[in-house]
A and B are shown apart, each in its own frame.
Chain A
Amino acid sequence: MLDAIVQKLHAGERLSFDDGLALFRHPDVVSVGRLANEGRERRHGDRTYFNRNMRIETTNVCVASCLFCSFAKLEEGAPGAHTMRVEDAWRELEERMDDPPGEIHIVNGLHPGLPFSYYEELLAGFKRIKPDVHMKCFTAVEIHFFATHYGMTYREVLERLRSAGLDSLPGGGAEIFHPAVRTRIAHDKATADEWLEVHRIAHRLGMSTNATMLYGHIETFEHRVDHLLRLRALQDETGGFQAFIPLAFHPDGNGMRNLPAPTAIDALRTIAVSRLLLDNVPHVKAYWVSMTPEVAQIALCFGADDIDGTIVHETIYRAAGTRSPGALTAQQIVRLIQEAGRIPVERGSLYNVLREHPRASVPEAAVNVRDRKATKHLEVLS
C-alpha cells in the first residue's frame, strides 16, 4: 500500500490528497514514521532545534466560544477571568533578566474591552526591557479580531503592531480549516480564509509565521489532509511559514469533554504525515506540551526536527488537562534530544543557530578497552 507513495517520494514527486489519506489510514505507523524520518533527515540530518522562550497569556477574557477551549473565560468579572496590567506582564521578563528568554510568545483571549494601545504598549514595554527579544505574538484569530473590533485592515493592524515591536506571528487559531468542522467547534472567530489571509499579508510584509492544526476531536482524516493541503498551497504562494505544529486536542473542562484525547500513536502519525505532505515547510515541530516530553522524543524520529522550547509557563494546555510539566530547563531539553540520538541545536526565533550541542556522549561505563564494541570501533578508525 505504501509502495506507490515510496516511489513518489523517492522520485521527488509531491503527494496527493489520496496519498495523505492513505498515510493516515495505514495500519503500520512505524513504516509511515520511517518514511517521514527520511524526509526529516534529508532536510536536517540529526539536527534538532529548540529555543529558550517564555509564554505569557495576558488575558483569558474572550468573546469567542470555541468548543475545545478550557482556557478562555467569556466575560471580564467571570470567576477565573483575569487580565494582566501591562506592567505585571513586563515584570515576568524583568524577573528573568539574569537568564533571559530569546523569545516571548503571547497568545490571548479576544478581549472586547481593551484599547488597541494595550497591545502596542505591551509589545513596546518588552522591547524597552530587552531590545533584542523576539516578540512572537497574537494568532491570526487575534489579528482578525483586532481588525474588526478596532476598524482596521489586517495590514494596518500588523503594521502598527510591528512598529510597536511585533516580530512574527505564532501559528495558533488554525484549528481545522474545513467548514464542516470549523463551524461546529469555532463558529464565532476568524474563518479558514480569514486565517490564511492574515498569514498571507504577514508574509507579504516580510514577517515569518507558523501554522498549527488542532487534531483529535470531531474531525476526520479527510479534514486533516484538507487542512494540510490548504497550508501547502499558501506556502507555495508566499513561502512565509517557518514551522508546522500539530496540536493534540485535550478534553478536560471544555465543550468536548466527552471526547477522549487522541492517543500517542495518533500524535506520531500526525507528525509523520505532516512532514510528508508539507514538502515546502522547513520545520515540523513536536510541541512537547501537547504530546508529553516522552512522546515528543519519539516524534523526533517520526518526522519532527524541532521540539519547541523551555516554554516557562504554559497555561492553555494545563487548563485542558495535559500531564506535561509547565516548563522544561534547557538542559532537560538538550537531554531529551540527545536521548533520541539527535544533535541539539539552540536556535533563535528565525532558526538562526545560536549554539550546537554535542551528540550524547558515550557513557563512561561503555568505554572499556576489552569491550568488543569499543575495539570494533577502533578497528574501523585505524
Chain B
Amino acid sequence: MIGQGERLRAAAVGYLNARPLYEGLDREPASSRLRLECGSPSEVARRVAEGEADFALMPVAAAATIGDLRVVRGCAIGARGAVRSISIVAERPIDTIDELAVDLSSRTSVVLARLVLRARSRGREPRLLGATARDAIATVSGARAALIIGDPALEIEGRFPHVLDLGLAWWELTGLPFVFAAWCGPKGVLSSGDESLLTAAKAVGLERRDALADEHAARTGLTSASLRSYLREAIRYDLGDDERRGLERFYDDAASAGLLPRARVRFFDDDRRNGATLPGLDAILSRAAEGERLSAAEGERLADEASLFDLGLAADAVRKRKHPHSVVTYIVDRNVNYTNVCTTSCRFCAFYRPPGHPEGYVLTREQLAKKLKEVVDAGGVQILLQGGLHPGLRIEWYEDLFRWIKREFSLGLHALSPEEILHIARIESLGVRAVLERLHAAGLDSVPGGGAEILVDRVRRKIAKAKCTSDEWLGVMRTAHHMGLRSSATMMYGTVDTAHDRIAHLIKIRDLQDETGGFTAFFCWDFQHEKGTNIEPGDNGTVLYLRQQATARIMLDNVDHVGASWVTQGPEVGQVALRFGADDFGSVMFEENVVSSAGTTFCMNADAIERNIRAAGFKAVRRNVRYDWLTVPA
C-alpha cells in the first residue's frame, strides 16, 4: 500500500467515455491524495508495467497482459448491449467479409472483435490489417470491413449498410455485460479509503455527463444529443457481479483462443477479505508448455522462482510444439560493418569511433567486394550490413551501395538496424516510412533487430542516452513490417536492467508481433563487458543466459523462431542453448566487429555448426533470412 504521506501516481485513458470516472479527482480530498495523468491506452499500460504509475484506468486486455493486477470494485467503463463506439462496419454482411482493417491501438476491441467473429462464423476469421481509423474507413469496400473505435465510430453511425456493434454482439453471444476498462493496479496498492475516493469521484463525474457531452460536441462536431445519450445509456460505469462474470468470460475465451494470457478477475477488496493465494509455479509452467500465453506477472514469477530445469524443459516443450521436426536451422551469411564512425557513444560499445578519429573508417567498394565475394564463395546467402551513425553518409550513398550489391552479388540484404534508419531519417529530414521505401526500392530485403537493448526507457537512458527511445525502435519495426519487410528482434541485457525490465521488453516485442506478425526470430545475449566500455556489468553469466533465452521462448508465443547467440556466448553454450528453447543456431561467422571489439571472438564454420546441432540431438538445415529451408535436414 502506498503510505498516506505519499501521493499515488494514477494514469487513465484520456477518452470521452472515461472522463466521468476521473472528472471528480481534481477536487479535495482526492486531489491531494493522487496525481492523475492521461494518455493513450498503450502509454497508460506501459506506465503501470514499468512502475511509473501506481494504478490506472486501463483497458482490460492490457491488464491481462501485465497480469496479477487487482481491480477496483464498482467502477468500470462497460456496456450491457449496444455500445455504439466499437463497431465493425462493411458494405456487405459482416459474416461474409475476408479482411478487417483494425485500429490496433485498442487491443481490447481487437480481441473482442476476433472472439465475436470466431463465434459467429465457427472459427473462420478474416485477415487482420493494421490501419489508422481514417484509412480503415476509407478502404471499406467489398469483402474488406473495418473495426472502428471511439469518436470515429460515433461519427460514422449510419454511414455503412452493415454494422456489427460489438457490445451488442457480446451481449447476444454471452448474455453478459462487457467491461472495456477499469481501475487496475498491483495487489495492495490501494487502501479501502483510496477506493472510496474513486467511487466518490465517479458519483461526481456521472453528474457532469451532460456537460462533458456538450463540451465534447463543441470540440468535435458530433451532436450533443448523441453524445449525451452515449454517456448516459450506451456506456455503463458499474462493476458488480454481472460485469465481473462478463469480464471473466472474456478473459477465459481470449486465453483459450491464445489471444491473451489467462487472467483472473480479482478485486482489491477480495485480498482484504480472504488473502489471495498465488497459483502454483507448476501450473504456470505446464500452461506455458501447452502453448498458452503468459502475463508479465507470470513471466516475472518464472524469472524469480523457476529452476533452470523448469525453464529449460518448458521452453523445450514450446520449441517442440512450434518445430516438431527436430530441426535446427542456421544461415551462411556475413556481418559487415560498413563504418565504425558513430555519433552515439553508447557506454557499452567498444567498436565505435567518434567522427574525425584517426581509427575511423568507411569500407571502400574494393574492400566490400572482397568480403562479399568471400561470402558468395562460401555458399553464403545474405549479408548483415550494419554500421555506426556516420554523420556524413547520405541516403543516396546507401541507395547506391544497395543497388551495387544487388547488381554485383546475389545476396540477401539484411541491413540497417532501426537506429540507423532513424539516423538517416534525421539527416534527410524524411519520415521513417519514406526512408524505408527508398531503401527497399534500392534492394533492402529485411531489417536486423539490433539496438533494441532493453526496450524500457529508464534503462536506455542510462546505457545509451543518445539512442532512440523504445517507442521509436518499435515504431521503425512497425513501419517496416507494415511494408512487408520482415525483421528479427533482439535483447541485450545485463547492465542496469532487472528481471522486471527484461519481461517488459519481451511483452513489448510480443505486443508488436500481435499487431504486425513481422518478427521472424528473437535473439538475446548479455552485455559483453570489456575494458574500453564505460559501464559495469549487472546480472550476468551463462546460467542466466540459458534462463533468459528459455523465458523468451516461453513468453514469445507468437514469434516463430528463437536463436542461440553462440557468437556472444561461445559455441559450447550456443549448443547447450538448443536444449533451452532455441531452434536456430544463427550464422556461420566470418567476422563480427562489434562484439569482437569487446573481447569476444569465436569462430565456427558450417561443419562445426552442423556437428554441434547433431550432437544436441537435432537435424541441421541451412536457411535464408525468412527461415525457408535451403537444404534437406541432415
Residue A353 lies at the interface, judged by CB distance under 8 Å to chain B: no
Residue B539 lies at the interface, judged by CB distance under 8 Å to chain A: yes
B579 touches A265 (CB 8 A): yes
Closest to A342 in B: B543
Instruction: Please indicate the chain A residues that have their CB under 8 angstroms from the CB of B186 in the complex.
Output: 372
Interface residues on A, range: 35 or more
**Chain B positions 563-590 with a Cβ under 8 Å from a chain A Cβ:** 569-573, 575-576, 579-580
**Partner of A298 from B54, B538, B539, B573 at Cβ < 8 Å:** B573
* Least CB distance, B304 to chain A, in whole angstroms: 6
Interface residues on B, range: 35 or more
**Chain A positions 276-317 with a Cβ under 8 Å from a chain B Cβ:** 291-292, 294-295, 297-298, 300-301
**Partner of A265 from B300, B312, B543, B575 at Cβ < 8 Å:** B575
Scoring A residues 17 to 41 as 1 if CB is less than 8 Å from chain B, else 0, what string do you get? 0000000000111110110010000
A294 to B574, CA, bound (A): 11
B580 touches A30 (CB 8 A): yes
**Partner of A339 from B499, B542, B575, B616 at Cβ < 8 Å:** B542
B543 touches A339 (CB 8 A): yes
Instruction: Please indicate the chain A residues that have their CB under 8 angstroms from the CB of B617 in the complex.
Output: 27-29, 265
Residue B434 lies at the interface, judged by CB distance under 8 Å to chain A: no
Instruction: Please indicate the chain A residues that have their CB under 8 angstroms from the CB of B580 in the complex.
Output: 30
Residue A268 lies at the interface, judged by CB distance under 8 Å to chain B: yes
Closest to B602 in A: A323
Scoring B residues 295 to 307 as 1 if CB is less than 8 Å from chain A, else 0, what string do you get? 0010010001001
Closest to A338 in B: B541
A370 touches B51 (CB 8 A): yes
Closest to A33 in B: B309
A298 touches B576 (CB 8 A): yes
Instruction: Please indicate the chain B residues that have their CB under 8 angstroms from the CB of A266 in the complex.
Output: 615
Residue B200 lies at the interface, judged by CB distance under 8 Å to chain A: no
A363 to B539, CA, bound (A): 7
Residue A114 lies at the interface, judged by CB distance under 8 Å to chain B: no
Scoring A residues 84 to 123 as 1 if CB is less than 8 Å from chain B, else 0, what string do you get? 0000000000000000000000000000000000000000
* Least CB distance, A32 to chain B, in whole angstroms: 10
B576 touches A264 (CB 8 A): yes
Instruction: Please indicate the chain B residues that have their CB under 8 angstroms from the CB of A264 in the complex.
Output: 571-573, 575-576
Name the residue in B308, B569, B570, B615 with the highest tally of chain A Cβ atoms < 10 Å from its Cβ. Answer: B308
A371 touches B498 (CB 8 A): yes
Instruction: Please indicate the chain B residues that have their CB under 8 angstroms from the CB of A300 in the complex.
Output: 543
Residue A366 lies at the interface, judged by CB distance under 8 Å to chain B: yes
Closest to B300 in A: A373
Residue B316 lies at the interface, judged by CB distance under 8 Å to chain A: yes
Instruction: Please indicate the chain B residues that have their CB under 8 angstroms from the CB of A28 in the complex.
Output: 313, 316, 579, 617
Name the residue in B188, B312, B542, B573 with the highest tally of chain A Cβ atoms < 10 Å from its Cβ. Answer: B542
Knowing A263-B572, A339-B544, A340-B541 touch, does A30 contact B498 (C-beta < 8 A)? no
Residue A260 lies at the interface, judged by CB distance under 8 Å to chain B: yes
A52 to B569, CA, bound (A): 26
Closest to B572 in A: A264
A365 to B539, CA, bound (A): 10
Instruction: Please indicate the chain A residues that have their CB under 8 angstroms from the CB of B307 in the complex.
Output: 34
Closest to A35 in B: B309
Chain B binding surface SS class: helix
A365 touches B496 (CB 8 A): yes
A263 touches B611 (CB 8 A): yes
Knowing A265-B616, A373-B300 touch, does A368 contact B51 (C-beta < 8 A)? yes
**Partner of B572 from A33, A294, A336, A365 at Cβ < 8 Å:** A294
A29 touches B51 (CB 8 A): no
Instruction: Please indicate the chain A residues that have their CB under 8 angstroms from the CB of B573 in the complex.
Output: 264, 294-295, 298
B497 touches A365 (CB 8 A): yes
Closest to A366 in B: B498
Residue B540 lies at the interface, judged by CB distance under 8 Å to chain A: yes
Residue A341 lies at the interface, judged by CB distance under 8 Å to chain B: yes
A247 to B365, CA, bound (A): 48
Instruction: Please indicate the chain A residues that have their CB under 8 angstroms from the CB of B544 in the complex.
Output: 339
Residue B612 lies at the interface, judged by CB distance under 8 Å to chain A: yes
Residue B546 lies at the interface, judged by CB distance under 8 Å to chain A: yes
B542 touches A371 (CB 8 A): no
A165 to B575, CA, bound (A): 44
B309 touches A373 (CB 8 A): no
B572 touches A295 (CB 8 A): yes
* Least CB distance, A23 to chain B, in whole angstroms: 14
* Least CB distance, A161 to chain B, in whole angstroms: 37
Name the residue in A291, A336, A340, A370 with the highest tally of chain B Cβ atoms < 10 Å from its Cβ. Answer: A370
Residue B287 lies at the interface, judged by CB distance under 8 Å to chain A: no
A323 to B608, CA, bound (A): 15
A28 to B326, CA, bound (A): 12
Instruction: Please indicate the chain B residues that have their CB under 8 angstroms from the CB of A375 in the complex.
Output: 188
Knowing A263-B615, A371-B51 touch, does A297 contact B499 (C-beta < 8 A)? no
Instruction: Please indicate the chain A residues that have their CB under 8 angstroms from the CB of B264 in the complex.
Output: none
**Chain A positions 49-97 with a Cβ under 8 Å from a chain B Cβ:** none
Residue B322 lies at the interface, judged by CB distance under 8 Å to chain A: no
Residue B500 lies at the interface, judged by CB distance under 8 Å to chain A: yes
Instruction: Please indicate the chain A residues that have their CB under 8 angstroms from the CB of B546 in the complex.
Output: 298
Scoring A residues 312 to 347 as 1 if CB is less than 8 Å from chain B, else 0, what string do you get? 000000000001000000000001100111000000
B576 touches A365 (CB 8 A): no
A294 to B566, CA, bound (A): 12
A371 to B51, CA, bound (A): 7
**Partner of B541 from A295, A323, A339, A372 at Cβ < 8 Å:** A339
Instruction: Please indicate the chain B residues that have their CB under 8 angstroms from the CB of A291 in the complex.
Output: 572
Instruction: Please indicate the chain A residues that have their CB under 8 angstroms from the CB of B313 in the complex.
Output: 28, 30-31, 34
* Least CB distance, A45 to chain B, in whole angstroms: 14
* Least CB distance, B539 to chain A, in whole angstroms: 6
**Chain B positions 418-456 with a Cβ under 8 Å from a chain A Cβ:** none
Closest to B316 in A: A30
Closest to A296 in B: B542
A323 to B500, CA, bound (A): 35
**Chain A positions 249-264 with a Cβ under 8 Å from a chain B Cβ:** 260, 262-264
Instruction: Please indicate the chain A residues that have their CB under 8 angstroms from the CB of B499 in the complex.
Output: 366, 373
A38 to B497, CA, bound (A): 31
B576 touches A265 (CB 8 A): yes
Instruction: Please indicate the chain B residues that have their CB under 8 angstroms from the CB of A29 in the complex.
Output: 579, 617
B572 touches A340 (CB 8 A): no
B540 touches A339 (CB 8 A): yes
A295 touches B611 (CB 8 A): no
* Least CB distance, B546 to chain A, in whole angstroms: 7
**Chain B positions 543-568 with a Cβ under 8 Å from a chain A Cβ:** 543-544, 546
Instruction: Please indicate the chain B residues that have their CB under 8 angstroms from the CB of A323 in the complex.
Output: 570
* Least CB distance, B498 to chain A, in whole angstroms: 5
Scoring B residues 499 to 540 as 1 if CB is less than 8 Å from chain A, else 0, what string do you get? 110000000000000000000000000000000000000111
B540 touches A34 (CB 8 A): no
A375 to B1, CA, bound (A): 10
A336 to B543, CA, bound (A): 10
* Least CB distance, A310 to chain B, in whole angstroms: 19
Instruction: Please indicate the chain B residues that have their CB under 8 angstroms from the CB of A368 in the complex.
Output: 51, 498
B538 touches A297 (CB 8 A): no
Please list 26 pairs of residues, one from A and one from B, whose beta carbons are closer than 8 Å in the complex, sorted by A's number.
A28-B579, A31-B313, A34-B313, A37-B309, A263-B575, A263-B612, A265-B575, A266-B615, A268-B576, A291-B572, A294-B570, A295-B573, A297-B543, A298-B542, A301-B308, A301-B309, A301-B543, A336-B541, A340-B541, A341-B543, A365-B496, A365-B498, A372-B500, A373-B304, A373-B498, A375-B188
Beyond A295-B573, A370-B54, A375-B188, 5 extra complex contacts between A and B, CB < 8 Å: A33-B309, A262-B615, A265-B615, A340-B541, A340-B543
Shortest 6 CB-CB distances between A and B: which pairs?
A339-B541, A264-B572, A34-B309, A263-B615, A294-B542, A30-B312
B residues whose Cβ falls under 8 Å from a Cβ of A: 51, 54, 186, 188, 297, 300, 304, 307-309, 312-313, 316, 496-500, 538-544, 546, 569-573, 575-576, 579-580, 608, 611-612, 615-617
A residues whose Cβ falls under 8 Å from a Cβ of B: 27-31, 33-34, 37, 260, 262-268, 291-292, 294-295, 297-298, 300-301, 323, 335-336, 339-341, 363, 365-366, 368, 370-373, 375
